[in-house]
Amino acid sequence: QNSFKTRAVKQSSASAIGLRPKISASFNVAILGASGGIGQPLSLLIKMSPLVSGLHLYDIANVKGVAADLSHCNTPSEVLHFTGPDQLAAALKGVNVVVIPAGVPRKPGMTRDDLFNMNAGIVKNLVEAVADNCPGAFIHIISNPVNSTVPIAAEVLKAKGVYDPKKLFGVTTLDVVRANTFVAEKKNLKLIDVDVPVVGGHAGITILPLLSKTKPSVSFTDKEVEELTVRIQNAGTEVVEAKAGAGSATLSMAYAAARFVESSLRALDGDTDVYECAYVQSEVNELPFFASRIKLGKRGIEAFVNSDLQGLTDYESNALEALKPELKASIEKGIAFANKSK
Ligand code: NAI
């Protein structure tokens, strides 16, 4: 998070006086769904990264204008646009990180699972193209329901013979960003210092902030734990209701997704101190997919940080057991969809 901000600031001040900052590395990032509510601000934030040399924007509509607009920013990456299925393969060639926010967002009254019928097929088709054109890339899935779309992506990649579980990620960074913000507000802490691991999944009660593991160490009353946990779990719905039919979280999501992209690029670039929470094929418990803190490296997940899940409070242990059946069902639903539509 810090390095993302610092790099962006250094970059803009260097550009302002006409100097190109020294680029330590150059990666290509593709955004599938780039002209959407998340796609546009996310593309802007990634355009600011000095680690990116090529920004490939793909959508089924309106992407040419987004690319023209962004290409005028005097940051190093070249912006390319690709519209519709005929250009999808070209969008993915030579790409190191693929980010997928394509699909339909929630409207008031909808759960993330209500999006399944629309988004499952979209994610399946896009990941098939990823398998064919850039099978070694890190894949970041944003499209909801993440609890099911990530298992769908895994099945698609398996069927194509290119599944690397270390490189497939459901983006849950927004849950961490929200937890950090709400805890800092509640406890009057400096925002930049606060770090709360969030585990489980990315919908309702499957989102489990481990408040007892907050850094810096801080104590909460039972009431505070209950209120904060429920607020973090419902924060997406808070935005959906405030937008009153005009979509779900887009700006905070773009910020969170850009942080996860930047972390991935730093890891690819050889930084050995990169940790994020993400929803991945897991070995931390009996669930095949689970969000928890991972160490990222050049080849993707390097290690699971098991210490977060040890010594939980009774509240957290009970919440963890309570979320497992729902998360398991969402995983099975995704796998069944992928296998049915093979
Ligand atoms: P949006 O409707 O504003 O944008 C979606 C974009 O996807 C549109 O530009 C659309 O043309 C494009 N699209 C649709 N089908 C496509 C296809 N087959 N190929 C390429 N592009 C396609 O939606 P928004 O607000 O950007 O949300 C996108 C997704 O992100 C939703 O599923 C939403 O639920 C999810 N989301 C996930 C979060 C997370 O924390 N993981 C947080 C917030 C939203």
Give me the catalytic one of 56, 81, 140, 202.
202
Give the pLDDT means over successive 10-residue stretches in the chain (342 positions). Answer: 34 41 75 98 97 97 98 96 98 98 94 95 98 98 98 98 98 98 97 96 98 97 98 97 95 98 97 98 97 98 97 98 98 97 74
Is residue 204 left, alpha or beta, with left meaning phi > 0 and alpha meaning psi from -120 to 50? left
Token pair, residue 133, equals 């054109």
Alpha helices in 191-313 (DSSP H): 222-243, 251-268
ipTM over 0.90: yes
Q: Is 72 a catalytic residue?
A: no
Per-residue model confidence (pLDDT) at position 105: 94
Which residue's alpha carbon is nearest to atom 25 within ligand 1?
37
Give the CA distances from residue 310 to residues 172, 210, 280, 306, 307, in Å, rounded to whole numbers and listed in that order.
21, 11, 19, 7, 5
**Within 10 Å of residue 26's Cβ, how many Cβ atoms?**
15
142 CB under 6 A from ligand 1? yes
> Among residues 39, 89, 29, which one has the least CA distance to residue 59?
39
* Consecutive H or E run containing 117: helix 116-133
Which residue's alpha carbon is nearest to atom 37 within ligand 1?
142
120 CB under 6 A from ligand 1? no
Which residue's alpha carbon is nearest to atom 33 within ligand 1?
105
Q: Record the pTM.
A: 0.94
